[in-house]
Structure 1
Amino acid sequence: MLLRENIPASYIVGKIKNEVVFVTLYSVFIAVMYNTFHFTRISIPIAVPTILGTVISLLLAFKSNQAYDRWWEARTIWGAIVNDSRTLTRQLLTYVDTKYGPSEERAFCEKMAKRQIAWCYSLSRHLRRQDPLKGLEKLISAEDLNYIKQYSNIPLALLELQGADLRHAYKLGWINEFQQVELDNTLTRFSNEMGGCERIKNTVFPATYGTYIHFSLVLFIMLLPFGLIEFFGVVEVPVVIAIASAFFLIEKMAIHLQDPFENKPTDTPTTTISQTIERDIKQMLKVNYKQEEKVEEKDQSKMFYIL
């Protein structure tokens, strides 16, 4: 998940350490050969790597922009999930008459609201290809848990149970026809939002596009020492390393942002969002959120940055 933490330099360097080692050895080799063996004094006009670098910069900028669009779309969808989860709970508490204290109607509202919390957590883990059933026993009944275990798509099974309970409430007269339609529309939005997340998750960023840019970047780095050696001499080594590191970091940033559900520091923060939804819904239900055992404790942010 995306974290509001200062990223350690060791984490940043770790992402490009192999590339930096290669560039260092290569640039040192070129400098040694150029200064030791005069017959290998090959240099090219600085304009050649400059033009190639400009083209690669434009391609990387386009790739980064497209990757950020995918990340931002994922964040927008989860923002809608927050709003619709609050809306569903508010509709349940206002449509169903629960003012007389503990009753079947009140139990119905709490059951659907807590199942909505379970849906958020299960969708988060489902998108990250983790166990979507983890922790759900704290929110849903054993009967519901046994039912959804039959499905490969746990969030979809939870939405099916929500729809079934909604129909049951309508038949009992707890909600009227108009209220049933409104609640069903809210459930439909959850289904659409889940589909939007799955579309982002399952749509692979064009591999050929990234591969071609990477090969062009490698070519640029290999030509760069020959363009700088005549002007900088041995100093071209740190210059080449600095330029190459900047390009490789931008490339890595785009690669990480293009997949917002991989449980990385650059992820859409679905776990934290789910915890926010859990807190808000339980407060609307007048449940003591601080005393109740939470489904998932907050992650230790530093764990994301272990190399």
Structure 2
Amino acid sequence: MLLNKKISVWYFIREIKSQILFIGIFAVVIGLLDMLPWFRKISLPLNIPALLGTAVSLLLAFRTSQSYERWWEARTVWGAIVNDSRTFVRLMIQFLPVGEEKLIKDFAARQIIWTYALGESLRKQPFSDKVKQYLEKNNISGMNIPNALLDAHSRQIKEIAVSKGLTDFQQMQLNDMVTRLCDSMGKCERLKNTVFPRSYSILVHILIYVFAAILPFGLDDSQLAVEIIVTFLVPIVFIMIEKTSIIMQDPFENRPVDTPVTSLAQTIEINIRQMIGEQNVPLKKENTSYYEM
């Protein structure tokens, strides 16, 4: 997630450097063609490229809105994961009898690992050493590791409901928390696996290039440099807006604009370890970069 300091403009420029080069060549070629005698006879009212530019602007506004909605939904879901993780451990501390600190720590450790495993699986990264060691130690495996960890939560809740004498209401409360965590996991997987229609991007790109192609024929032919600059700058602005939407629409791709799942998992770990009374809990280091992951 981009922080509100030291934001790198070069990150966005690197993302569209190939389009910048293409549009630059395109603008020069179209500008020179417009100076040829046969093309100089072609003159379009400026209203035509203006109308097309308006259509592109509306499409980009919709695209940006939908992309931000996906990004914000991912951040909202992970906000719920932070709260539900704290609440789950708090209920364990409240419901289990005094002297069951080891059992509480088992649930706390599993919940911490679940948050890391979920973030890493959404980004399709190899599991970190912390997650691998826990999975090996507890013989947890499967195609969907976060779901397997929630299954372990459910099994152990069923066991302690009998062995520790939990009431039906207490068991229901704990199962409800597991259900909420599962719902959040499902929402993240939906955002990860539902792609934005490719045909929409193709349509926007075609309209941008058509706009760039007809724009010089609506401008004054006496100033070639101005034609080329305008033909270059306006489509580049459109492409930058679209590229921003594209990189924002997928919030779990391990990029600077991602939902900061690793940072949130670290926050959850610190909070939970403090809740169960662990000493010397390491605090998060202040981020000095222009983004956090």
TM-score (norm 1): 0.87
CA gap 1:256/1:177 in 2 versus in 1, 3 angstroms:
same
Partners of 2:29 and 2:63 in 1: CA distance? 32
Letter in 2 for 1:122: A
User: What amino acid maps onto 1:265 in structure 2?
Assistant: P
Residue 152 to residue 286, structure 1, CA distance change in 2 (3 Å): same
The answer to whether the 8 Å contact 1:43/1:230 transfers is: no
Alignment match, 1:216: 207
Within a 5 Å distance, the mapping from 1:118-267 to structure 2 comes to 118-132=113-127, 134-137=129-132, 140=134, 142-144=136-138, 146=139, 148-149=140-141, 151-230=142-221, 232-267=223-258
Q: 1:211 & 1:177 partners in 2: Cα distance?
A: 55
Once the two structures are aligned, what percentage of the paired residues are identical? 40
Contact 1:122 1:132 in 2 (8 A): yes
Aligned residues: 291
Stretches of structure 2 that go unaligned for 5 or more consecutive residues are none
Q: What does residue 40 of structure 1 align with?
A: 39
Check whether the contact 1:2–1:264 (CA below 8 A) recurs between aligned residues: no
1: CA distance, partners of 2:84 / 2:222: 61
Quote the offset at 1:17 in angstroms.
1.5
Q: 1:201 to 1:141 in 2, by over 3 A?
A: closer
Structure 1: gaps spanning 5 or more residues: none
Find out whether 1:18 has 2:9 as its counterpart. no
Whole-Å Cα distance in 2 between the matches of residues 136 and 228 of structure 1? 61
Q: Deviations over 1:87-146 (max 9, x none)?
A: 001101111123xxxx4x1100011011101101100011111124642256x47442x2
Aligned equivalents of 1:88, 1:172: Cα separation in 2: 19
Q: Is the 8 A contact 2:64 2:245 kept in 1?
A: yes
CA 220–269 in structure 1, closer or farther in 2 if over 3 Å, else same: same
CA drift of 1:291 comes to 4.7
SS at match of 2:259: coil
Shift of 1:213: 1.5
Deviation at 1:29, TM superposition (A): 2.4
* Separation in structure 2 between the aligned mates of residue 10 and residue 192 of structure 1, nearest angstrom: 37
Report the 3-state secondary structure (helix = DSSP H, G, I; strand = E; otherwise coil) of the residue aligned with 1:129. coil
TM-score, normalization: structure 2? 0.91
Conservation of the 8 A alpha-carbon contact between 2:77 and 2:187: yes
- Residue 9 of structure 1 corresponds to which residue in structure 2? 9
The equivalent residue for 1:83 is 83
What amino acid is aligned across from residue 237 of structure 2 in structure 1? A
